[in-house]
Homo-oligomer: A and B are copies of this chain.
Amino acid sequence: MEKYCKFESALDILIGKWKPVILLQLITNGTMRFGELQKSIPEINKKMLTQQLRELEYNDIVHREVYHQIPPKVEYSISEYGRGLSSVLQVLNDWGVSHIEHMKGRNEA
């Protein structure tokens, strides 16, 4: 029975306050530098951005490309493997949208 209950492991990868936004940015914009990501998500700070990116990188969702130069340059992008997530995110997104509608309907009643 345990074998059928692996959606927790999928959730783990998406959990984290900023991961959804980061993924959205990278999916829509393609490759982005650290600073670009930071600018596109003004409320985040460097520590959190780094942390969440590292977790996504660890799970092979995001690719990190380092250019060894001064000043440093690091580019992030969705990895080849990570693209497989988009269909999952799409399903989640669709359900999320309809759920918002559903809850709105309940509050009005």
Contact = CB atoms under 8 A, between A and B. Distances in A.
A67 interface: no
A85 interface: yes
A104 to B, nearest CB: 12
* Total identical chains: 2
**Interface of chain A: mostly helix, strand, loop or mixed:** helix
B6 A89 contact: no
Q: Place the interface of chain A in its size category.
A: 35 or more
A96 to B, nearest CB: 4
Interface string A3-27: 0111111110111000011001000
Interface of A: 1, 4-11, 13-15, 20-21, 24, 28, 59-60, 81, 84-85, 87-89, 91-93, 95-100, 102-103, 106
